[in-house]
């Protein structure tokens, strides 16, 4: 079965072709550099760029996969969550394609796609804890099976990737900030003890996060001009990673789970990967670098899993949605 995957939830326009026999045949991602000057994604510009980029990206994805549109068996697209006017571009394109080639359509949840990107490398046994860390999300989810999830906790304010981006902006490092901070931190030392927000929280907030206070503390430190960018980056990253992993391991204990799947753009972070490699007794999984940030391959694969489960497509009248809950 040949599945077309469309992703447009934020600032990456991506189309991929997944073959259930041969795996990913193509995965074309067009990232929007137009947002650089704003230090963050500007929604209206993002939607306009998707509209401009979609057809060339689709064309390349089909050519790379050496197929034509008529070879596609199922069309899939991210329909939530994300920037609504960006999502609408991908969803409308997917509906038009499905209608014109008369093939089923499957809407895909973006967070679910990030988690199942890991399965493109290797099937992972259930249950596992998913730590989803991206520009828009920081969530802990108990995954009991495909489409059987228990939300355990998440951020009460900024998402982890967002904080990386805002700290990078305060240091004039460009956008997205995560990869730049990651590189800078490799030459820095953790000399500043930044707060580890809510790390020892008990009760109903024990699996929740709050990163806005940490962000403010880091930005204040940048403005003081005492420490090098490298040391600030390393200290900031250290505080984030310690907080994320403490709560993830607590969740493993409480739910008696021995596997953790890390997903989303921040799962590309080299220090996070180094730290999880030192943890004994829990198996950690994270995707290859090209599948960490937004891509169509994770959408095509997750759509394929949904289609295989329901054995049919969905009605064309589903809508794009900005929020998860």
Q: Which residue ranges make up the site for ligand KG4 (CB under 6 A)?
A: 10, 134-136, 161, 164-165, 176-179, 182, 264-266, 268-269, 293-294
Residue 266, CB half-sphere, CA atoms under 13 Å: how many? 23
Please say which residue, 19 or 294, places its beta carbon nearer to Zn ion: 294
Task: Give yes or no for residue 30 binding Zn ion (CB under 5 A).
Answer: no
DSSP per-residue letters across 37-92 = GGTS--HHHHHHHHHHHHHHHHHHHHHHHT--GGG--EEEEEEESS-HHHHHHHHH
Task: Give yes or no for residue 221 binding Zn ion (CB under 5 A).
Answer: no
**Residue 133 annotated as binding site:** yes
Q: Work out what residue 178 binds among ligand KG4, Zn ion, none; the CB cut-off runs from 5 to 8 Å by kind.
A: ligand KG4
Task: Give yes or no for residue 139 binding Zn ion (CB under 5 A).
Answer: no
Q: Work out what residue 182 binds among ligand KG4, Zn ion, none; the CB cut-off runs from 5 to 8 Å by kind.
A: ligand KG4
Least separation in angstroms between residue 230's CB and Zn ion is: 28
Per the DSSP assignment, residues forming a β-bridge with 28 are 15
Q: Kind and range of the H or E element at 4?
A: strand 2-7
Task: Give yes or no for residue 155 binding Zn ion (CB under 5 A).
Answer: no
- Residue from 294, 296, 306, 320 that binds Zn ion (CB under 5 A)? 294
Give the residue from 160, 146, 114 showing the smallest Cα distance to 272: 160
Least separation in angstroms between residue 242's CB and ligand KG4 is: 15
**Residue 135 annotated as binding site:** yes
Say if CB 266 and CB 293 are below 8 A apart. Answer: no
Task: Give yes or no for residue 32 binding Zn ion (CB under 5 A).
Answer: no
**Residue 50 annotated as binding site:** no
Q: Work out what residue 238 binds among ligand KG4, Zn ion, none; the CB cut-off runs from 5 to 8 Å by kind.
A: none
Say if CB 238 and CB 231 are below 8 A apart. Answer: no
Say if CB 60 and CB 30 are below 8 A apart. Answer: no
Task: Give yes or no for residue 134 binding Zn ion (CB under 5 A).
Answer: yes
Contacting range for Zn ion; rule: CB under 5 A; set: 127-135, 144-152, 179-187, 200-208: 127-135
Least separation in angstroms between residue 160's CB and ligand KG4 is: 7
Phi, psi angle pair for 238, to nearest 5°: -60, -45
Task: Give yes or no for residue 210 binding Zn ion (CB under 5 A).
Answer: no
Least separation in angstroms between residue 268's CB and ligand KG4 is: 4
Q: Which residues contact 79 (CB under 8 A, 6 or more apart)?
A: 87, 91, 107, 108, 109, 318, 319, 320, 321
**Residue 137 annotated as binding site:** no
Give the count of beta carbons closer than 10 Å to the beta carbon of residue 120. 20
Give the count of beta carbons closer than 10 Å to the beta carbon of residue 314. 17
Residue stretches of the annotated binding site for substrate: 132-136, 165, 178, 182, 269
């Amino acid at each position: 079965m040949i599945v077309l995957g469309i992703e447009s939830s934020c600032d990456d326009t991506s189309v991929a072709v997944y073959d259930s026999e041969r795996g990913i045949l193509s995965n074309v991602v067009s990232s929007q550099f137009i947002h650089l000057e704003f230090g963050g994604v500007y929604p209206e510009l993002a939607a306009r760029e998707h509209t401009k980029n979609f057809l060339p990206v689709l064309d390349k994805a089909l050519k790379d996969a050496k197929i034509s549109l008529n070879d596609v068996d199922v069309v899939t697209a991210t329909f939530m969550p994300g920037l609504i006017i960006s999502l609408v571009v991908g969803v409308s394109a997917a509906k038009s394609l499905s209608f014109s080639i008369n093939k089923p359509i499957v809407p895909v949840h973006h967070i679910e796609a990030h988690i199942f990107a890991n399965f493109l490398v290797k099937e992972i046994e259930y249950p596992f804890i998913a730590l989803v860390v991206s520009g828009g999300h920081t969530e802990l989810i108990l995954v009991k099976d495909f489409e059987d999830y228990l939300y355990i906790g998440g951020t009460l304010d900024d998402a982890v990737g967002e904080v990386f981006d805002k700290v990078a902006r305060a240091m004039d490092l460009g956008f997205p900030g995560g990869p730049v901070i990651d590189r800078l931190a490799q030459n820095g030392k953790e000399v500043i003890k930044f707060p580890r927000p809510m790390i020892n929280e008990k009760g109903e907030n024990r699996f929740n996060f709050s990163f806005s206070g940490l962000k403010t503390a880091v930005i204040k430190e940048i403005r003081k001009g005492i420490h090098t960018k490298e040391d600030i980056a390393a200290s900031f990253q250290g505080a984030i990673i310690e907080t994320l992993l403490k709560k993830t391991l607590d969740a493993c204990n409480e739910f008696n789970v021995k596997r953790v799947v890390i997903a989303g753009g921040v799962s590309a972070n080299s220090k996070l990967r180094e730290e999880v490699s030192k943890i004994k007794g829990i198996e950690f999984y994270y995707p290859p670098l090209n599948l960490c940030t937004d891509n169509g391959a994770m959408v095509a694969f997750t759509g394929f899993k949904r289609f295989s489960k329901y054995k049919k497509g969905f009605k064309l009248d589903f809508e794009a949605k900005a929020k998860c809950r």
